[in-house]
Structure 1
Amino acid sequence: MASQFGVLDVRLFSEPTRVLEQGWKMLSTGMLTGDSFATIQRLVIGYVIGAVVGIAFGLVLGMSRLMRAALNPTLAALYAVPKIAVLPLLLLLFGLGDVPLVIMVFFAVVFPVYISTESGVRSLDTQLIEAGRSCGATGITLFLRVILPGSLSQIFAGLKVAAGLGIVVIIAAEFVSANNGLGQLIWTSWTLLQPDPMFVGIVLAALIGAVFIQIIVTLEKIVIPWRSGASGVTKSIRRVRHHEV
């Protein structure tokens, strides 16, 4: 309505109907599918590698004071470096292609995941650890039964934050160093003053980000069923009491 009544300049702000029409046209030609797949592939590969490394570093540093003293200053310095500033160096080392883009996503993901994981381990209630030890849990058993489950909430918090950062970084990196992908689509459309495909890319990037984060939220509910809320805890207590009676 704003476009039709002249409130917005349609040369800059496309009507939603035009965006949908343009999106359907690009989808039918296969152009949108190829760009979307390229972005998702780079995002998923970089995210998975970054998440695994970040969780591993966070667990090790959270449990070892010596490792924290040795590595935390270096990791803090690397975390402060703007991720997009590393892209020219990666292009010099690896050239054009998917490798620099995947590494960019990795850098964006690994630090928030590592920080959240370390925080989850260090903030774990010491009484839970002592309770585990009093029940005979030591070493790997204590880690798997007490430390890791107690840290999962913080780990998933970091994974959700990292998912949003991964989307931002991959789109920004594709602006300047990719021959395909949604970032390249948005940037090329802007340079050619074509707002319709530009908005298609923006909307689709937002949808991919929303779906990606929702997948992590669903996985969190599966892996951490005890986070279902107070009602779930109350029901569990009632079942235990009923069983005791």
Structure 2
Amino acid sequence: MGSPTAKRKQRSPIQRVIRWSPWHYRFWREIARWCYEQSLHNPAVVAADSGFPAHRQLLQSYQQIRKETLEIALSGRLPANHEIMQQQRTLYEFDRKVWGMLPLRGYGYDYPANQALIPSLRSFLQHHPDVVSAAVSLFPPGKVLRPHKGPFKGVWRYHLPLYVEHFGDGRSSCELMIDGQNYYLQEGEGFLWDDTFMHSAINRSSQPRVVLLFDVFRKDQPIWLIGMSWIFLWVAQIWQHVQNMRQRAGLQ
């Protein structure tokens, strides 16, 4: 996947203990991940029609969604992902290339001003509360997303590419490696997967790539996990409110 242009900081044993102690979110994140992994057994990539049937409505409105979204995404005004969420800063520090992100909904917490910029998506989100997160992602040329795992197995991750360069032979600039396998996403084709599997991404083109990212609440969870998932979402909503995320997440 290419080597980073900047080395990651080496942390002392004391710093590592602090980062993985009960007073840090990483401690609870790993406990929650373990609970989900004991009960949910699925492949890394799943059929969108089965895990997220409503994605067909998105595809039916694809051209309008694409037009409205690209007017915003390619304006050069998207906030930086790591400035919205400090927890994402290591993904920026890996290569120092800014990953643009416009949140529309975050774990059930709406961003009304951002949604108003893309009316076709706002209408879809209003009718689909099971889409607990939605965002416009702008991956700059040459950006490398280091291998990592998502924190929450209670959702499926859905990608809908809007602006992608095609290299031929099925390859594209929207390149993902998930659980050791490469996938090349194409414009207008939805892709559903479980981002708690190890994954990374790269844009090998000279132009940005724009993708819609959704998190879709999983309906195949046992009842006790559904309760745990809603608690997770509730805490995430409170955290975003306390952090005044709406102010930081607006267009620049």
* TM-score calculated relative to the size of structure 2: 0.23
More strand by share: 2
Rg: which structure is higher? 1
* TM-score calculated relative to the size of structure 1: 0.24
More helix by share: 1
